[in-house]
Amino acid sequence: AEEILVRSEKMSVAGQLAAGVAHEIRNPLTSLKGFVQLLQAGIDGKDEYYKIMIDEIDKINSITSELLFIAKPMTDDRKEEIISCMLQDVIILLNTQAKIYNITLNLEVESDQTIYCNRTQMKQVFINLIKNAIEEMDKGGVISVCVTSDQNYCYIEIIDQGPGISSHIIHKLKEPFFTTKKEGTGLGLMISNKIIENHNGKIDIKSNQDIGSTFCICLPLSKKETN
């Protein structure tokens, strides 16, 4: 019975995704068709139309590339990885973008650990969460990435100084296609959550209005197998 439950849950996620994709791609396609028709009719204002059309194509493009990431058969090769190394890689990658917005990325490692994980997927999660933090901080500031641990778990917190998240949307953040951004896909947190759940962890979201948001990734520490 449990297996059936798990399967039907997976089905509904797939169904949810399919419906979302159809919807998200149909909108820009409808708009594209309209502009092609206008161009065909020889209407003035071509430059403006081309710009909008390219934006719509970009939107479809980013949705499909994020979906391809999900659809990719999970070659799930996991190894012992040092948390701070993965975070350092990601921070180097995102530093250029952060600087443009006057944002400092601070890595604070209180207790470094290794976790048994898929490096590529784990880095994808860190990228998604730090990028989200950057995108909320248009006035600049500091994003702290803190690594702590206790006996059984490690905690990776991404703490921003953005506007926070209002309580009536906080439960929707992990749903596919939920976005408050003009250029958003609403897939980043859904994918991140899936990856962390696959690693037997979870993502907690906390918000302090006007102080910022904290996304806390909790992952089980690797234990030496004793058979």
Q: What are phi and psi of 167, to 5 degrees?
A: -65, -25
The smaller minimum CB distance to ligand ADP, of residues 113 and 158, is found at: 158
Rounded to an integer, what distance in angstroms lies between the CA atom of residue 78 and that of residue 9? 25
Residue 173: name its binding partner from ligand ADP, Mg ion, none (Cβ under 5 to 8 Å by kind). ligand ADP
**134: partner contacted, choices ligand ADP, Mg ion, none (Cβ within 5-8 A by kind):** none
Tell me the β-bridge partners of 202.
218
Compute the least distance from the CB of residue 215 to ligand ADP, in Å. 6
Is 94 a residue that touches ligand ADP (CB under 6 A)? no
What residues contact 121, with CB distance under 8 A and at least 6 apart? 74, 195, 198, 199
Binding-site residue total for ligand ADP (CB under 6 A)?
20
Burial 126-135 (b: 16+ CB within 10 A, else e): bbbbbbbbbb
Q: Which stretch binds Mg ion (CB under 5 A): 77-85, 90-98, 154-162, 181-189?
A: 181-189
d(CA 186, CA 136): 14
Query: Which residues on neighbouring strands pair with residue 212, listed in sequence order?
Result: 208
> Is the Cβ of residue 113 or residue 136 nearer to ligand ADP in the bound state?
136
CB of residue 192 vs ligand ADP: minimum separation in angstroms? 8
Residue 86: name its binding partner from ligand ADP, Mg ion, none (Cβ under 5 to 8 Å by kind).
none
Q: Which amino acid is at 181?
A: K
| Interacting residues toward Mg ion by CB under 5 A | 132, 188
| Interacting residues toward ligand ADP by CB under 6 A | 128, 132-133, 136, 160, 162, 165, 173, 178-181, 184-190, 213
